[in-house]
């Protein structure tokens, strides 16, 4: 029954996308407000149908309806309820259904947000989003259909992949990434709409940038949470391994970050339009590439779903979107108006943004090359190789360093042109503080060159960012007097978009410090203890108190109770575990972490002998790991602040309606 | 139309898509087994029914097909009926087929065999010692061993029927 209902819902979604795509594109080409309305209605239908689909699947999972293919694949009567709920995205076909649902939600949000605005572009954009919707609903309806009935009906299922059952973060990490990935569809569709219309207005540029901020924030959060999950689950004490799928999420992050900056030049000065739109389309293409990497079985990664038939379909889609994007850019780029105010001084914010964009492009190329190199090499020479961390670190560390430096320099430079004298003066204080920080760290015995350099450049960027954040408030306070705090808050509220950008920058600084500290002074100790014995790891005394076994419905765990103390403090107990899941042969470690801003102590069991209690474990001591998670949170918060819709923006509608032709203005009236 | 962009695009797209497409059908985890061309590690394992111990040494002189599998493994269930069928063809011609249980319980495996067919013995490998000797990374994995006890071919994941048959034909 659910199979039939689910299938019907998906077919409705597919039909809605098809009709809506045609209506939207027609509405854009003919400037038809009626067609645009149809496209929006179809977007809502698409959302409704996928919502029903996801609801049915959750119902089937929760009621253990093993007649549904996907439930038979990942369900299990012994799984706790929260695992059953998140099983929706634990395997291929369910995750594609979830994907279609998120796309439906974004399409509906887009329909709602553009319903009374941007008549020139919104219909095209709606149509393009639904074209992507056609592809995903086609996948769910066809090759990745999770609703296929199963006969004979099994009595129980194996449960989802144990790695995913092992941690609560599994509830949030994939949805955040999906929200990031799928959300890139909307700015892509809007960029394509600009090209299809052959015109890009400042209001549309601004809408584009806002549309990108939402998925960008989710993607950032998804990546950081992924690092956190890998740190807390995989038991090796690291958070980033340059695994193909990690890279797959990092690539669109790089291009979309570059886009968010070059879009400012596009919005302000009408410059870099071709480049900015290329970044935009590239970001979407890289999310499709990322999905392909995870689901095609072509790349070797911890994340890969098993070999699946949808690889070739995804590749075809990727090739089609690539070709479409290139042809669209080629056909329309010369139609967009030429840049205005082409003069950018060497020491200007414009130049800093261009340099930053070049660095991001170089970073993207480096990561893309390293990730695909095993495939390229095998295609050419037939040899199997793998590209590991050293390559990525060799290029990634200096590139990141320069990017943090530019992040400091850029905001302090004026738009257009600046006198070199003023620039030098502007940088004296932050440079001085950076030198002090480096000297201070060196005096405390932290002398590794790269981490030290990163601390210095982070201090430099942080000081400038804080100065820039305070500047409007200080100016207001000097002029009007009164309470300094009130002046700061009020001025910040007025310049919210800019302040939000600086919040993101501060987040980046925190992450940079965390990464430099934790990778620079990582200390790993191997210990083997009998119950009652005490071992030393760095400044910690670790006493192995006892071991015990916990049995759960879906797993059994071996726990080691370890007492942690330093010379002057009792830090309580840590209990690392080894979890054994029936579906997976070898047990999975679940490390125990004591995380404080200064330093993490990370205990992970290597082997535990249940009879004698002999315990082998790893103690990983890393400073500043906590800063990475906190910085990621700050970045996401900044993105949320920036993307939050403002009242004032609705005036943009009126402002941009003026230069439009009378016909369009009439259609605005007709549609409102 | 800006032909420069089209040209640059084509130069990027065509090789890129071709490289990605070249990865299909290959398993990125499959690194050539160091064991191929080397003597197969010996084993003496009890059958799932119990009572009988089969050792590789005793099978010298005939090719052996060794299939590591588990009841919880979906691809194993998919390839098993085919293995049963093909064993009916090759066993009379002197090939010994053996299954080895990988990280599973005997009663579950018996259920699996009732469902997907049985034509050759399945061996218990309770501590996974044999799986470790052979470097099994996941199931199914299948080894073809010649009459001199050398590993001739290793399949990661379900065997490819053509290669499987041609390898056996070459040994007979």
- The two counts, helices (H) then strands (E), for chain A are 22, 10
Q: Do the Cβ atoms of A322 and B13 come within 8 Å?
A: yes
Q: Got the DSSP string for A591-602?
A: -EEEE-SSEEEE
Alpha carbons A308 and A524: distance in angstroms, whole number: 38
Question: How many beta-carbon pairs under 8 angstroms link A with B?
Answer: 85
Percent of chain B past pLDDT 70, that is, above it, reads 92
Within 8 A of A331 by CB-CB distance, chain B residues are 1-2
Q: Does domain B34-171 have CATH number 1.10.287.610?
A: no
Q: How confident is the model at residue A585 (pLDDT cuts 50, 70, 90)?
A: low
Instruction: Tally the residues of chain A.
Output: 672
pLDDT at A650 over 60: no
Tokens of B136: 């099994």
Q: What is the pLDDT of residue A17?
A: 97
Higher pLDDT among residues A615 and A360, named by residue: A360
pLDDT at A118 over 80: yes
Nearest CA to B68 among B141, B155, B121, B145?
A: B141
Q: Do the Cβ atoms of B17 and A378 come within 8 Å?
A: no
Per-residue pLDDT tens over the stretch A539-551 = 999 999 998 888 8
Interchain CB contact of A338 with B (< 8 Å): no
Q: Where are the beta strands (DSSP E) in A481-598?
A: 523-529, 534-537, 540-551, 556-565, 570-574, 577-580, 588-590, 592-595
pLDDT at A114 over 50: yes
Q: What is the pLDDT of residue A669?
A: 38
User: Under a CB-based contact definition with an 8 Å cutoff, are residues A295 and A174 in contact?
Assistant: no
* Residue B93 Cα, gap to closest chain A Cα (Å): 34
Alpha carbons A304 and A617: distance in angstroms, whole number: 28
* Residue A303 Cα, gap to closest chain B Cα (Å): 13
Interchain CB contact of A220 with B (< 8 Å): no
Q: How confident is the model at residue A239 (pLDDT cuts 50, 70, 90)?
A: confident
pLDDT at A288 over 60: yes
Half-sphere exposure of residue A250: CA atoms within 13 angstroms, side-chain side: 24
Nearest-10 Cα torsion for A668, A661, A327, A244 = -40
Per-residue pLDDT tens over the stretch A181-202 = 999 999 999 999 999 999 888 8
Q: What is the pLDDT of residue A244?
A: 82
Q: What is the pLDDT of residue B35?
A: 66
User: Under a CB-based contact definition with an 8 Å cutoff, are residues A660 and A120 in contact?
Assistant: yes
Q: What is the pLDDT of residue A342?
A: 60
pLDDT at A7 over 50: yes
Q: Which of B20, B22, B31 sits opposite A384 (nearest CB)?
A: B31
Mapping DSSP onto H, E and C, the string for A146-208 reads: CCCECCCCCCCCCCCCHHHHCCHHHHCHHHHHHHHHHHCHHHHHHHHHHHHHCCCCHHHHHHH
Q: How confident is the model at residue A520 (pLDDT cuts 50, 70, 90)?
A: confident
- The two counts, helices (H) then strands (E), for chain B are 5, 7
Domain extents in chain B: 34-171
Nearest CA in chain A to B157: A307
pLDDT at A672 over 50: no
Alpha carbons B138 and B109: distance in angstroms, whole number: 17
Rg (CA), chain B: 20
Q: What is the pLDDT of residue A173?
A: 87
Q: What is the pLDDT of residue A299?
A: 64
Q: How confident is the model at residue A668 (pLDDT cuts 50, 70, 90)?
A: very low
pLDDT at B100 over 80: yes
Q: What is the pLDDT of residue A660?
A: 38
Q: What is the pLDDT of residue A388?
A: 66
Nearest CA in chain A to B2: A330
Q: What is the pLDDT of residue A308?
A: 61
pLDDT at A602 over 80: yes
Q: What is the pLDDT of residue A361?
A: 95
Q: Is the peptide bond before B140 cis (omega within 30 degrees of 0)?
A: yes
Q: What is the pLDDT of residue A74?
A: 86
Is this complex's ipTM strictly greater than 0.85?
no
At CB < 8 Å, which residues of chain B contact A? 1-6, 9-10, 13, 16-24, 26-29, 31-32, 70, 72, 74-75, 102-103, 128, 157
Half-sphere exposure of residue A504: CA atoms within 13 angstroms, side-chain side: 23
pLDDT at A649 over 70: no
pLDDT at A465 over 70: yes
Mean pLDDT of A511-529: 88
Percent of chain A past pLDDT 90, that is, above it, reads 48
Mean pLDDT of A650-660: 42
Q: What is the pLDDT of residue A282?
A: 95
Per-residue pLDDT tens over the stretch B113-133 = 988 889 999 999 887 788 877
* Residue B50 Cα, gap to closest chain A Cα (Å): 22
Q: What is the pLDDT of residue A667?
A: 39
User: Under a CB-based contact definition with an 8 Å cutoff, are residues A109 and A218 in contact?
Assistant: no
pLDDT at A319 over 50: yes
Q: What is the pLDDT of residue B30?
A: 54
If one counts every other C-beta atom within 10 angstroms of the C-beta of residue A446, the result is 16
Average pLDDT, whole number, for chain B? 85
Q: Give residue A605's Cα distance to chain centre.
A: 31
Q: Which of A298, A330, A333 sits opposite B20 (nearest CB)?
A: A298
Lowest mean pLDDT among A92-101, A285-294, A593-602, B129-138: B129-138
* Residue A366 Cα, gap to closest chain B Cα (Å): 15
* Residue A77 Cα, gap to closest chain B Cα (Å): 15
Per-residue pLDDT tens over the stretch A417-464 = 777 788 888 899 999 999 999 999 999 888 888 899 999 999 999 999
Q: How confident is the model at residue A658 (pLDDT cuts 50, 70, 90)?
A: very low
Q: How confident is the model at residue A12 (pLDDT cuts 50, 70, 90)?
A: very high
Q: Do the Cβ atoms of B9 and A322 come within 8 Å?
A: yes
Average pLDDT, whole number, for chain A? 86
Q: Got the DSSP string for A259-324?
A: HHHHHHHHHHH--SHHHHHHHHHHHHHHHHHHHHHHHHS-S--TTPPP--THHHHHHHHHHHHHHH
Tokens of B73: 């493994």
Q: Do the Cβ atoms of B72 and A158 come within 8 Å?
A: yes
Alpha carbons A578 and A576: distance in angstroms, whole number: 7
Per-residue pLDDT tens over the stretch B153-167 = 888 878 888 889 988
Q: What is the pLDDT of residue A652?
A: 43
**Residue A561, helix vs strand vs coil:** strand
In chain A, positions 581-610, which contact chain B (CB-CB < 8 Å)?
Answer: 582-586
Lowest mean pLDDT among A89-93, A94-98, A210-214, B3-7: A89-93
pLDDT at A41 over 50: yes
What order do you get walking across the sheet with A615-623 strand by strand? A523-529, A615-623, A599-608, A592-595
Q: What is the pLDDT of residue A378?
A: 77
Percent helix / strand / coil, chain B, rounded to 5: 40, 20, 40
Q: How confident is the model at residue A355 (pLDDT cuts 50, 70, 90)?
A: very high
């Amino acid at each position: 029954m659910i199979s039939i209902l689910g299938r019907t819902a998906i077919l409705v979604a597919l039909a809605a996308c098809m009709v809506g795509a045609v209506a939207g594109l027609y509405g854009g080409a003919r400037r038809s407000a009626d067609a645009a309305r149809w496209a929006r209605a179809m977007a809502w239908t698409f959302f409704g149908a996928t919502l029903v689909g996801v609801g049915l699947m959750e119902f089937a999972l929760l009621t253990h309806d093993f007649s549904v293919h996907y439930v038979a694949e990942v369900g299990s009567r012994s799984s706790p309820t929260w695992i059953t709920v998140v099983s929706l995205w634990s395997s291929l076909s369910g995750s594609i259904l979830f994907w279609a649902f998120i796309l439906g939600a974004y399409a509906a949000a887009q329909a709602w947000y553009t319903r009374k605005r941007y008549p020139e572009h919104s219909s095209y954009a709606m149509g393009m989003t639904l074209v992507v919707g056609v592809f995903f609903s086609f996948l769910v309806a066809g090759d990745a259909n999770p609703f296929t009935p199963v006969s004979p009906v099994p009595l129980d299922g194996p449960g989802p992949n144990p790695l995913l059952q092992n941690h609560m973060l599994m509830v949030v990490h994939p949805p955040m990434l999906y929200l990031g990935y799928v959300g890139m569809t909307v700015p892509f569709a809007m960029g394509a709409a600009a090209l299809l219309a052959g015109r890009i207005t400042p209001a549309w540029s601004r809408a584009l940038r806002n549309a990108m901020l939402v998925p960008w924030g989710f993607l950032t959060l998804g990546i950081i949470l992924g690092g956190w999950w890998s740190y807390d689950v995989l038991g090796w004490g690291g958070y980033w391994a340059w695994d193909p799928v990690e890279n797959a999420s990092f690539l669109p992050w790089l291009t979309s970050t570059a886009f968010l900056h070059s879009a400012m030049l596009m919005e302000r000065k009408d410059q870099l339009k071709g480049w900015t739109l290329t970044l935009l389309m590239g970001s979407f293409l890289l999310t499709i590439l990322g999905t392909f990497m995870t689901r095609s079985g072509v790349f070797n990664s911890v994340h890969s779903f098993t070999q699946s038939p949808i690889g070739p379909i995804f590749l075809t889609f990727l090739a089609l979107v690539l070709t479409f994007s290139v042809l669209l850019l080629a056909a329309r780029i010369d139609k967009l108006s030429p840049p205005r105010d082409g003069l950018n001084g060497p020491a200007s914010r414009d130049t800093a943004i261009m340099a930053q964009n070049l660095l991001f492009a170089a970073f993207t190329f480096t990561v893309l090359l390293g990730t695909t190199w095993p495939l390229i090499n095998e295609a050419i020479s037939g040899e199997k190789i793998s590209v590991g961390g050293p390559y990525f670190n060799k290029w990634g560390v200096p590139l990141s360093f320069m990017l943090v430096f530019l992040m400091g320099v850029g905001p302090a430079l004026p738009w257009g042109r600046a006198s070199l004298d003023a620039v030098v003066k502007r940088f004296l204080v932050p440079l001085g503080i950076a030198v002090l920080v480096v000297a201070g760290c060196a005096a405390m015995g932290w002398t590794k060159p790269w981490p030290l350099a990163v601390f210095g450049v982070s201090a430099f960027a942080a000081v400038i960012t804080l100065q820039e954040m305070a500047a409007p408030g200080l100016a207001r306070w000097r002029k009007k007097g009164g309470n300094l705090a009130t002046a700061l808050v009020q001025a910040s509220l007025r310049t919210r978009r800019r302040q939000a950008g600086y919040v993101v920058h501060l987040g980046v600084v925190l992450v940079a410090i965390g990464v430099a500290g934790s990778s620079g002074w990582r200390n790993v100790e191997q210990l083997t203890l009998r119950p009652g014995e005490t071992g030393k790891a760095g400044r910690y005394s670790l006493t192995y108190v006892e071991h015990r076994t916990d049995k759960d419905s879906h797993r059994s765990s071996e726990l080691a109770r370890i007492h942690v103390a330093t010379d002057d403090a009792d830090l309580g107990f840590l209990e690392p575990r080894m979890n054994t899941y029936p579906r997976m042969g070898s047990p999975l470690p679940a490390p125990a972490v004591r995380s404080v801003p200064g330093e993490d102590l990370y205990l992970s069991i290597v082997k535990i002998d249940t009879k004698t209690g002999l315990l082998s474990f790893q103690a990983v001591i890393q400073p500043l790991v906590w800063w990475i998670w906190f910085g990621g949170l700050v970045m996401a918060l900044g993105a949320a602040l920036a993307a939050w819709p403002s009242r004032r923006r609705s005036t943009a509608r009126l402002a941009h309606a003026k230069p439009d032709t009378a016909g369009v203005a009439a259609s605005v009236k007709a549609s409102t | 139309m800006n032909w420069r962009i089209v040209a640059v695009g084509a130069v990027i797209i065509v090789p890129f898509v071709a490289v990605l497409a070249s990865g299909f059908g290959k398993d990125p985890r499959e690194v050539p087994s160091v064991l191929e061309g080397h003597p197969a590690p010996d084993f003496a394992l009890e059958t799932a029914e119990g009572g009988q111990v089969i050792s590789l040494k005793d099978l010298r002189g005939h090719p052996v097909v060794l299939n590591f599998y588990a009841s919880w493994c979906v691809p194993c269930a998919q390839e098993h009926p085919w293995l049963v069928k093909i064993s009916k063809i090759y066993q009379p011609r002197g090939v010994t087929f053996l299954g080895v249980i990988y990280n599973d319980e005997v009663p579950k495996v018996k259920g699996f065999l009732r469902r997907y067919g049985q034509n050759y013995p399945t061996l218990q490998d309770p501590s996974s010692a044999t799986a470790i000797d052979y470097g099994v990374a996941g199931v199914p994995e299948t080894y073809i061993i010649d009459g001199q006890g050398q590993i001739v071919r290793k399949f990661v994941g379900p065997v490819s029927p053509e290669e499987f048959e041609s390898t056996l034909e070459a040994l007979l």
